[in-house]
Amino acid sequence: MTGTGPDPAFLAVRGVTKRFGGLVAVNDATLDVAEGSITGLIGPNGAGKTTLFAVVAGFEKPTAGLVLLEGEDITGRRPHELARMGLARTFQIVQPFAGLTVRENIAVGAFLREAKRPAALAVAEEVAMRVGLADQLDKPAAALTVAGRKRLEVARALATRPKLLLLDEVLAGLNPSEVRDIVPVVRAIRDSGVTVLMIEHVMQAVMNLCDRVHVLAQGRIIASGTPAEVVAAPEVVEAYLGHGAAARLKGGAHA
């Protein structure tokens, strides 16, 4: 065990700081993700959520701090090694392999665990079914709608058979009915035994899906708790609406 003794958390982020020159994108962030949970990471734009994701998934080395997966120190490991260990991520700005079909896109993920093409293609089909892309398998990825591309991001990540899935704003840019369609998909992923950590702005989905939520503002974790606790916390309201907003809202309610 590293640091302060046994850590019960499945994923533990301990005092992670990431500086880009003079800019502190993530400042001493500590958070836990329990095994089998859907945990949310919310915060205003520019709070450092995606940077924190990049650190956890190995795309950025933290300036300070540790990331532990099932108690093992994974800080600074490269993305493909982490993927092999069972950590998968999606990208906020979708990154399809545009020249390939949906099937081939998902198969790239499946090839992580399958050496042979027929097996990888079979996994791709099965995963496409789970995320609702089964009827688009032979379409070029470039021809998908925004919602389709978001599903593709999830499908490719799932095809690597992760233990922990990091979803970076998979609901952003979707209309309300598309959001309603994807929410059960995320829940089904968790129910199949994959722990989910999601960055999300769509509060309806966060309230619906997440067991716990961490709030990041200006690089710091300012609140953690159940979704209901977190949205009621004054520091969270102020992070979104500005200094004094919580008091004013409260005052307004009294008047």
Please say which residue, 44 or 79, places its beta carbon nearer to another protein.
79
Please say which residue, 98 or 134, places its beta carbon nearer to another protein.
98
Task: Examine residue 100 and tell whether it contacts another protein (CB under 8 A).
Answer: yes
Interacting residue with another protein among 3, 35, 71, 117 (CB under 8 A): 117
Could you tell me the CA-to-CA distances from 82 to 77, 103, 199 in Å, in that order? Answer: 7, 23, 19
- Write down the least CB distance from residue 27 to another protein, Å: 25
Could you tell me the two tokens for 116? 């042979």
The contact pattern for another protein, residues 24-63, with x = CB under 8 A and - = no contact, is: ---------------------------------x-x----
Interacting residue with another protein among 12, 13, 111, 212 (CB under 8 A): 111
| Dist. CA 62–CA 78, nearest whole Å | 12
The answer to whether 36 touches 70, Cβ cutoff 8 Å, is no
Please say which residue, 157 or 216, places its beta carbon nearer to another protein.
157
Could you tell me the two tokens for 240? 């979104």
Task: Examine residue 115 and tell whether it contacts another protein (CB under 8 A).
Answer: yes
- Write down the least CB distance from residue 175 to another protein, Å: 25
| Dist. CA 232–CA 15, nearest whole Å | 25
Could you tell me the CA-to-CA distances from 128 to 6, 21, 133, 153, 212 in Å, in that order? Answer: 38, 41, 5, 11, 28
- Write down the least CB distance from residue 112 to another protein, Å: 4
Task: Examine residue 112 and tell whether it contacts another protein (CB under 8 A).
Answer: yes
Region 63-92 residues binding another protein, contact defined as CB under 8 A: 78-80, 83-84, 88-91
Residue of 185, 177, 216 whose CA lies nearest to 200: 216
Interacting residue with another protein among 16, 31, 42, 120 (CB under 8 A): 120
| Residue 32 falls in which region: left (phi positive, over 0), alpha (psi -120 to 50) or beta | beta
Interacting residue with another protein among 39, 101, 136, 160 (CB under 8 A): 160
DSSP line for 107-169: HHHHTTT--SHHHHHHHHHHHHHHHT-GGGTTSBGGGS-HHHHHHHHHHHHHHT--SEEEEES
Site residues for another protein per CB under 8 A: 57, 59, 78-80, 83-84, 88-91, 95-100, 104, 107-109, 111-112, 114-117, 120, 156-157, 159-160
